[in-house]
Amino acid sequence: MISIQTLLGKEDEFFDLLEASAAEAHTSVVALRKCLANPEMLTRMDEFITTRRKDKAITVRILECLCTTFITSFEREDIEALAAALYKIPKTVEKIAERVVLAPEYLDGIELSGHLSLLEKAGEILFIMVKELRLDAQLDRMRLHNETLQKIEGQADKNLVELLAYIYKRPNEVVRAIFLKDLFELLERVFDRCRDAGNVVSRIVLRSS
């Protein structure tokens, strides 16, 4: 027979793992902001690969725990969805870093500081949301967090349109335009991943309220 203490221990492990995954996601976006602020210094992928591998291991552990745990206070599919959404953040960030390593010179003259500040803010809010799951977060508070994430994602979309307009006005720089368009769309995808994870957290709190 499974004891209450055992169940509570499993619950704590889920919280620990989800928080660790959110922390790795945040770490990855902070690292991205730093490297894009000075792209010529980015010559190796080690930091991004390590972060993505750590998060992958955390995700695998979450899925293992789901296979051996029959009772949780949250829906199993919500835990799985949140784990998957969190993992996609460092995975996508790594793809961005890969492209910058290939051709950092194509970022000359491209101003991304506002975009990256928004991304780091999204990572911070998402980390807070995941941490508050353990604390029986109030629905109203979680809605505010999620609304902020939605606004950040919306502003990021507007910024992307402006960046695309910049490269479309330079038809003679075809290769650079392809590079930048790919990079901008991957950046947008990171925002989308943060939004998706925030939506899952909000759904978890809504079902538990």
Q: What is the pTM of this model?
A: 0.84
pLDDT in tens, 144-199: 999 999 999 999 888 888 888 877 777 677 888 888 889 999 999 999 999 999 99
Asked if residue 6 has pLDDT above 50, the reply is no
The predicted pLDDT at position 71 comes to 57
Alpha helix stretches (DSSP H) within 69-170: 76-102, 113-133, 139-168
Residue 55 pLDDT grade (very low, low, confident, very high; cuts 50, 70, 90) = very high
Q: Which CATH number do you get for residue 97?
A: 1.20.58.220
Name the domain count of the chain. Answer: 1
User: CA dihedral defined by 196, 200, 203, 205, rounded to 10 degrees?
Assistant: -130
Q: What domain range includes position 86?
A: 4-208
